[in-house]
A and B are shown apart, each in its own frame.
Chain A
Amino acid sequence: MSPGRRDLHVRPRGHDRLAVARPLATQALGLAALLALADQALAFTATLTPSAPRTIYLQIGNGTFNGGNYTPIKANGQPAGNPAKNPTINVVSVSVPAASVGNSTAQAMTTNSAAANSFWDGFAYCNLPQQLYIGGFYRTTGAGGGTISVIATVPASLIDGAGDTIPFSQISWTSAGNLDSGAEPFPAGSFSSGSLNVGSIGQNQWAESCWTFSYKNTVVPAAGTYTGRVLYTLTAP
């Protein structure tokens, strides 16, 4: 009930109104009693307000949570740790022996990422240095569009100092994490130049996988150090 309704109480108006005959006075008392009864028909109210309703977090390789992992949830209902920015750009690499270059024997790649544990619960999820952690979550109220995708922006080639190239499509990955079962949110795939959807995160879901990269080794490039950078983007509506 709004406070304003309390002002509806019938109030005495003065001595001249007291001079009415008894039946009228009884009616007035009856009206007052009814109004008072209506005022007692109360209801307490809880105003629900969504707290921190929109959050997205994406981690490729190293990431940062301040204050602990996301779980266990604290007594006040908030996550134990909070996601923070981490500027690290991790490297996945392989050195192919000269005698093996272009022999079509895939070469396992390794990462310099230090992210073995999931920030969801601290579980040792990825195996280093073979695997690269990819994960995140997406929180929003409203319909939210269901899922959002992680988009990789991939150059056409890796390039060395002399301008020689290796197609990015020479690199592929498998996807698994310790104790995983079922489909991975970021499944196995291989790079192709342009924008590449590498997986999705359901609304109000934590999604994570561990990627093991491999170099196909089906081309014979000039000797050198070839580099390229893939940019991963998570966008919420």
Chain B
Amino acid sequence: MRPLYTLSFCIIWLAAAPAHAKTVPIDDSGTLPYNAALAMRWQEPQPRGPSRQQMLGTLQLRVRLNVAPWLRHIGRIYLVLPAQQPGAMTVSWTTQGRLLPGQLASGGRTLVYAGPFTTPFIEDMVQLTIAVDGRRMLQSYPVNFRFEMDED
């Protein structure tokens, strides 16, 4: 009865595989500019209104994600902004349609793509706006983003 035993093991293993969906960083090294300088400007003050402490910066990116390892598969891509200096930040972005527009707070992630991967690369023009409390901007801060894949 050994062949039957082997077969049942294979069935169990295959059935369990989807439950082991994992999150994998995506190679975004084709993104330009890859290390962008972003001049943060003050949100305009208002007379006699509440103080405006926010600084804003806008960046145009050509995002290029290497999804070749997931070609002909289905997955979900997230933009991730890890918690880091200079503290609480919010990011919003618009796209030209290949990726989803959205917003994100530091320490979180937001879905930018869900579906099948039919080409080895996903590209889009993304206009990214970062808002940060100007009182925390004591110097220049490199802010790291990453794209990650939830594999189905």
Contacts and interface: CB of A to CB of B under 8 A. Distances in A.
Given A142-B138, A203-B51, A41 B25 contact: yes
B28 interface: yes
Contacts of A46: 36-38, 57, 59, 128, 130, 142-143, 145
Given A71-B44, A73-B44, A45 B137 contact: no
Contacts of A143: 135
Nearest to B59: A46
B86 interface: yes
B27 interface: yes
Contact of A77 (B48, B58, B61, B135): B58
Contacts, number: 139
Residue of B51, B52, B61, B144 with most chain A CB atoms under a 10 A cut-off: B51
Interface residues of B, number: 47
Interface string B108-139: 00000000000000000000101010111110
A88 B55 CA distance: 33
A207 interface: yes
A41 B40 CA distance: 27
A45 B28 CA distance: 11
A139 B136 CA distance: 13
B140 A49 contact: yes
Nearest to A206: B45
Nearest to A123: B47
A83 B13 CA distance: 71
B53 interface: yes
Contacts of B59: 46
Given A40-B27, A205-B51, A45 B36 contact: yes
Contacts of A77: 39, 41, 56-58
Given A51-B39, A51-B41, A73-B44, A42 B134 contact: no
A75 to B, nearest CB: 10
Contact of A204 (B42, B56, B146): B42
Contacts of A207: 47-48
A70 interface: yes
Chain A residues touching B, range: 35 or more
B27 to A, nearest CB: 4
A155 interface: no
A70 B27 CA distance: 43
A204 B45 contact: yes
B29 interface: yes
A42 to B, nearest CB: 5
B31 interface: yes
Residue of A41, A44, A118, A137 with most chain B CB atoms under a 10 A cut-off: A44
A61 interface: no
A79 B40 CA distance: 13
B39 A43 contact: no
A205 B44 contact: no
Contact of A144 (B130, B135, B144): B135
A120 B44 CA distance: 10
Contacts of A48: 38, 40, 57, 86, 130, 132, 137, 140-143
List of 10 A-B pairs having minimum Cβ-Cβ separation, nearest first: A77-B41, A43-B146, A40-B27, A206-B45, A51-B39, A41-B25, A141-B137, A50-B137, A49-B140, A205-B51
8 contacts: A48-B137, A49-B38, A49-B140, A52-B42, A78-B41, A141-B55, A180-B48, A204-B52
